[in-house]
Structure 1
Amino acid sequence: MPRELTPIEQLQLLLPGYRGYKAKDLIRQDDFLIRRSVADKIEQAISAISMKESILASTQPFSPQLKVMEFILSNLRSLETEIMSSQGGGGDIYARWKINTEELDQIVNHDLNMIQIAQKIADLANSDQYEQIPPQIQSLKSLYYERKSLFFPPEYR
């Protein structure tokens, strides 16, 4: 019976070049790959919703769905900007404090969950299930903040 893939193995299949935070020098690189992948999926959702919004606006300019779509787009753009503009891999923190194996495991699990949620958001956007997107955005945002804190020593979280 084939065994189930570990979170690191799943991420390595999803992201070519991902190494799993094996060396301190690679923390920033792996962090960037994760954040870029999440941002790409968010961009896919933004593109899908924007396209459908423009079609709806041209046919039904007073549709209440337009306000819902604009609210979702605003939240997605804000989250994408925050994810891509934050300092990678905890900045220079990892050089001063050791990140132990348990924390790396938590970071990897957060990475995989972030990518899965971002993909779910993109899928929901493509299938016009807008009412399910805001809770997913909130989940992704919370997970991102938790993950970000894992790069810092426990006393600074």
Structure 2
Amino acid sequence: MNEKKDVYEKVKSEMRLSERILAELPGFRGYKEKELRREADKLIRNHLYRRLVEAKNDVKDAFQELSENRRYEVLNDVDKLVMKFERIAEKINHASYGYAGFFDAVKIEENDLDRMIKFDNALLEQVKEITEAATAFKKETLERKYEKAKERIQKLRALVEDLERTFDQRAETLRGVM
């Protein structure tokens, strides 16, 4: 089971007894399900945002090290990379929670929900890959292993751009579902 469904199921399982009773009332169940989907969406996007900020901070630490050691040939590229991190992190952080039109529907088709879960799973995997690459870049830089710096920066830039494309595709898919 992927992480998006796990989060949704966790939120659902933590409902208090009174919430479970109310969930059985006609009409209330759909409302509660919608609320749970929104909460799961919020948790996932908060996680993505926090991990991207961590990765950005690793890149900023690498920038500082490169700057102190006069590796000017890559500083401009690292600075642009930090700006890309900031843009996508803020885009994820400030997207409206739950994309109201999608989550307001009392009945969401299972295949539409599955598509969103696939997007969210892809986003989680991409952010994991980005954080690992940023950590490796920082580690090599702090160890003064600069020979692969340009290559690491290019890889990180490509990963961040792929993440942004996936996030934008997710938003477009949501607009199509509504």
TM-score, normalization by structure 1: 0.80
Aligned partner (choices 37, 41, 48) of residue 58 of structure 2? 48
> Aligned pairs, how many?
145
Matching residue's letter, 1:7: N
Residue identity (%): 15
* Alignment partners' CA distance in 1, 2:33 and 2:51: 27
Aligned partner (choices 84, 95, 98) of residue 89 of structure 1? 98
Provide structure 2 residue ranges, at least 5 long, that are not aligned to the other structure. Answer: 13-31, 138-151
Matching residue's letter, 1:50: K
Q: 1:2-151 residue pairs with structure 2 within 5 A?
A: 6-8=1-3, 12=6, 17=10, 23-60=33-70, 63-96=72-105, 98-128=107-137, 129-151=152-174
Contact 2:49 2:93 (C-alpha < 8 Å) held by counterparts: yes
Matching residue's letter, 2:167: Y
Q: Closer, same or farther in 2 for the Cα pair 1:81/1:150, shift >3 Å?
A: same
Matching residue's letter, 1:12: D
Q: Which has the larger radius of gyration?
A: 2
- Is the partner of 1:87 in helix, strand or coil? coil
- Is the partner of 1:151 in helix, strand or coil? helix
Contact 2:11 2:36 (C-alpha < 8 Å) held by counterparts: no
- Is the partner of 1:23 in helix, strand or coil? helix
Q: 144-153 or 101-110, which moves further after superposition?
A: 144-153
- Is the partner of 2:161 in helix, strand or coil? helix
CA RMSD in angstroms, aligned pairs only: 2.5
Cα deviation per residue 1:115-146 (whole Å; 9 max; x = unaligned)?
Answer: 11011111111112222112211211111122
Cα deviation per residue 1:88-135 (whole Å; 9 max; x = unaligned)?
Answer: 111255325742100110111111110110111111111122221122
